[in-house]
Amino acid sequence: MEICVDSVESAINAVNGGAHRLELCSALSEGGLTPSLGLLKTLKTIVSIPIFVMLRPRCGYDFQFSDLEIGVILKDCTLFKEAEADGFVFGALTSTGNIDIAACASVILTAQPLPVTFHRAFDVATQNPIKMAQKIADLGFKRLLTSGRSPVAFDGKCLIKILIETMKDRLIIIPGAGIQVDNLKDILVTTLAHEFHGSAKVLKQYINKNNLKFNSIYKEDPIYITDCDTVKKLLNIYKNHSKLE
């Protein structure tokens, strides 16, 4: 069970709930961006489970990065390695929607010997999903996080199942996006996935004394955190499913 977090509070709640691994980001509201070095260093002093760091320097779902942006990503990767990151999460596409082989190869090389997960850039790519998964494995990625090219993993579970059957031991396929207590069992039963990814987030209550909104899209500026009890429930579902395999 991998839980994605973007704060100290969420990380602690995920660990206390039984998470096996953290995906560390900033700005999960933007799909997850590169976190601060200080956040990783702080968490390495208080949690003992593996921490995989997101490498994504800006928002936007094109996943196309310039040479300068790749330079930023590689520098971040090096700094996070020095700060004892346990792995990385990255993905890049070309303007035609195919995997950016050069960008991915450079990140894999810089991250060595640490494992790298290819993230949900896979889900917005135009490349044939099976051929793309094979190329991801060929490049040296160890995992692929995917919703099965659907808005949520529940809707994409049939493709996820095919990917798992096809890739077998070459690439670990991780269902992710919209995984909840009420749909995890069905996803696991259908896909036979051995890992899954979620945020287990809830809305944090706080008082905005001045009623000033920084983001006019929302009635209130929301703060989401990982909920320890939800993590525990997800873990129990996962454990019960594993016993049946």
The string of pLDDT tens digits covering residues 116-152 is 999 999 999 999 999 999 999 999 999 999 999 999 9
Count of alpha carbons within 13 Å of 170, Cβ hemisphere only? 16
In this prediction, residue 242 has a pLDDT band, given cuts at 50, 70 and 90, of confident
Q: 224 near 202, Cβ under 8 Å?
A: yes
CA separation, residue 27 to residues 3, 36, 57, 105, 232 (Å): 14, 11, 11, 26, 24
Global confidence as pTM: 0.93
- Residue 53: pLDDT above 60? yes
Residue-wise pLDDT for 185-238, tens only, equals 999 999 999 999 999 999 887 666 566 565 655 555 678 999 999 999 999 999
Are 157 and 175 contacting, i.e. CB atoms less than 8 angstroms apart?
Answer: yes
Q: Which fold has domain 2-244?
A: TIM Barrel (3.20.20)
Pairing of strands 172-175, 197-198: unpaired
- Mean pLDDT across the chain, nearest whole number? 94
Q: Which residues contact 5 (CB under 8 A, 6 or more apart)?
A: 11, 14, 22, 23, 24, 25, 28, 199, 226
- The percent of residues in the chain predicted with pLDDT above 70, rounded, is 92
CA distance 47 to 33: 21
Please write the tens of the pLDDT for every residue from 60-116.
999 999 999 999 999 999 999 999 999 999 999 999 999 999 999 999 999 999 999
